[in-house]
Chains A and B, each alone.
Chain A
Amino acid sequence: MGDERREWALVLRGAELGRGAGGITRREFIRRGAAVAVVASGVPSLAACGGVATQGEEQGSGGGGGPIKIGAPYPLSGDWAEQGQNCLNGMKLAVGEINAAGGVEGLDGRELEIVSVDTGSTDPNRAQSVTDRLAADQGVSAVVGSFLSALTLTASTATERREVPMVTQSLIDDIVERDYRYVFKLPPNTSSTGTEAVNYYLQIAEVQGTAVGKAAVVGSNDAATAAQSETLRDQARERGIEIGAFVSFPPGLEDASAIVNQISDAEPDVVFAGGPVADIALLVKDLRGRGIEAPVVGSGGTGFLTQGLADALGDQVNGIMSISAWNGDMKLEGAAEADRAWQKEYDQPFMPNEAGTSYVAVYLLTEALERAGSSEPQALRDALAEIEVSSGPAAAYPPGGIKFDAAGMNERVVPIMIQWQDGLPKTVWPEDLAAAEVKT
């Protein structure tokens, strides 16, 4: 509904233009309206931030002593604006720290500068065109983006064509299955998060001495979550768990009782779930309201990891577990510092995982810049392909180090399991990264 509304807004702006001109022909009116629509959807609003705004100062940041530019294409408007802004803020935090500490040492202390563009939340074509301009006209050395997998898929085709390295915090496998040379993916693949949700939960249950004989799997029917739910179901069967109910639902539920009926009939020992925050909130409220106290485990994805879930559920959020990529309390050098700096800077109770990943990405790029001894995109790409970090903020990513394989996938990465405790996400698995014990 919202998208059609946005389209209408463009038509309206066209109409406004038509009226202002007065007495123009219909054809002229349509032509101008179309022009407005093209301008509104295709051209990025370029805004430099993080450092001093120095747009168009120099083309290409290979040589010279100007700041080293890093592109940041994110959804800053629409449904995913909160997460996009979190990513951008995570980058800003890292850039601020690096610049305050004297910039990139190996490049005569040159500072970093973020060039931010808005991809919007709904249009992969726009993500591609704004990223293309970023890579072509802004002289960026690298790009970190674009949070949402659908946007990253197209944005990375632009960086690939312009031969600019892109580090991404997106999840789906396809990003690193296209033989691209310039894309580097930090977090785990969606195909592994569903699997690991089962494995981790079974390990946790074993430690606690709980038996897991039967599970319910519930997920929204969007592509990413549906794929996660299916791999999760298959893995559960593989591990000898009976699937009592497998429910797929359209996101944006008005009511969850049809799902809860099925779960209730199945009497599962654990409920694996995935979907948007409003749907998850409805589901959990209804489950707990009916006295179904089986643990709820998120298969990965934003719905289980935002403050919004805690706000919607109040005390009922405590005990819910979820797969995540990053959490501020992991026992890793640099993570806690980032989390503290975030809370101070943005006055939020915890640093979200997408912000943490973006923060680490900037430190990783800085490490690559030091090793490359150049801010040329090509040299940076080669350094990223070779890089292996295992200490410092650049390695503050589970399990404590980063190395990319030939496809650009972080081959070291493992997901983590968080549990909401006292209204905050706490890392509870794997054991060597955990900051808290699982509570029942």
Chain B
Amino acid sequence: MQTALQAILTGVFLGGLYGLISCGLSLTFGVTRVTNFAHGDFVTLGMYGAFVGQASLGLHPLLSLPLVAAAAFGLGVVVHGLLISRTVKQNVFRPDDTHISQIVITFALGLLIQNVLLLLFSPNSRSVTGVFEGVLRVGGLFVNRAQLIAFVLALVVFAALYLFLNLTNFGKAMTATVDDGDMAAMVGIDSGKVYAAGFGIGVALAAVAGTILVTYYPATPTAGATFVAIAFITVVLGGMGNVLGAFLAGPLIGIAQQLTATYVGLDLQNVGLFAVFLLVLLFRPSGLLGRRTAG
């Protein structure tokens, strides 16, 4: 029983981070319809951002976090303006064809980020140490302090995102664009701005997740890529484009992974995750909170 509780607890806390990584990806997809294959590499950028903040400026990762988020948002907007927005204007046979160039572009972007990081920092792992060290003991259960803080931060960031999307005018415009881009444009929403901001926020969320992750996970140029497969599963599980769904699916994925690791075998931990994923898709093809579309 103790072991099961421990696995669930770890799964929930780890899942908070998965959720944070994934809701950025989901937002990007929901708003811009861009499948961002470089999402994991933006997580990596966030990790290095916090590392550089601590190593060269002596900044606590929590202080680096807003700076990294702002820089990442700017980067996202620039990337969108320079690369992604061109694909939307592309003259293609079918609208879906723009996905192909977007996939290739984001893939290439991911490669570029990895290799620039490799050039700047070498493949050696870099760590942010001395913050959130240690493990808390609650009753007979253990909680990794860094994971607990990551979970709380993920909740805070997600709450802020949720309020922004539902209470501000720009947030509502963004939600409207997710629901129906063409109609939103017709009622006067500047879709160009919404797309750019949607991409920027998605990248910023990835980078924020990275700054939290690096407090207990060493940064290497490919570290973020470890999480990208899980992020995609989380997004689909939550319902493509549904930010809340992605956030809630995170802990579910975390629990499935930890329970499999504990009771079936560590080697198979991701098999458990895929099994849950397939089961959900079997019974709810549009994901947990996804809507059925008219086709």
Q: Give, as a whole number of angstroms, the nearest-CB distance from A312 to chain B.
A: 4
Chain B interface size range: 35 or more
The digit string for B120-133, where 1 denotes a CB below 8 A from any CB of A, is 00111111011001
Contact call A1/B127, Cβ cutoff below 8 A? no
Question: Across the interface, which residues of B come within 8 angstroms of A254, CB to CB?
Answer: 14, 217, 226-227, 230, 257
Stretch at the interface among A107-115, A278-286, A355-363, A400-408: A278-286
CB of B135 closer than 8 Å to a CB of A: yes
CB of A250 closer than 8 Å to a CB of B: yes
Question: Across the interface, which residues of B come within 8 angstroms of A290, CB to CB?
Answer: 135, 137, 142
Q: Give, as a whole number of angstroms, the nearest-CB distance from B24 to chain A.
A: 17
CB of A311 closer than 8 Å to a CB of B: yes
Measured in the bound complex, the distance between the Cα atoms of B77 and A36 in whole Å is 33
Question: Across the interface, which residues of B come within 8 angstroms of A261, CB to CB?
Answer: 3, 6-7, 262
Stretch at the interface among A7-15, A23-31, A134-142, A381-389: A7-15
Which among A1, A6, A82 has the greatest number of chain B C-beta atoms within 10 A? A1
Contact call B218/A1, Cβ cutoff below 8 A? no
Query: Which among A5, A250, A259 is the interface contact of B110 at CB below 8 angstroms?
Result: A5
Measured in the bound complex, the distance between the Cα atoms of B227 and A78 in whole Å is 19
Interface of B is mostly: helix
Contact call A1/B225, Cβ cutoff below 8 A? yes
CB within 8 Å of A: which B73-114 residues: 104, 107-108, 110-111, 114
Contact call A257/B10, Cβ cutoff below 8 A? yes
Measured in the bound complex, the distance between the Cα atoms of B35 and A348 in whole Å is 42
Measured in the bound complex, the distance between the Cα atoms of B217 and A9 in whole Å is 27
The digit string for A246-260, where 1 denotes a CB below 8 A from any CB of B, is 011110101101110
Contact call A286/B135, Cβ cutoff below 8 A? yes
Interface of A is mostly: helix
Measured in the bound complex, the distance between the Cα atoms of B267 and A12 in whole Å is 34
CB of A209 closer than 8 Å to a CB of B: no
Measured in the bound complex, the distance between the Cα atoms of B267 and A93 in whole Å is 42
Contact call B10/A248, Cβ cutoff below 8 A? no
CB of A81 closer than 8 Å to a CB of B: yes
CB of B261 closer than 8 Å to a CB of A: yes
CB of A20 closer than 8 Å to a CB of B: no
Binding site for A on B (CB under 8 A): 3, 6-7, 10, 14, 40, 104, 107-108, 110-111, 114, 118, 122-127, 129-130, 133-135, 137, 142, 144-145, 147, 216-218, 220, 222-223, 225-230, 257-258, 261-262, 265-267, 269-270
Q: List 7 A-B contacts (CB under 8 A).
A: A8-B107, A78-B123, A81-B122, A281-B125, A290-B142, A308-B126, A308-B127
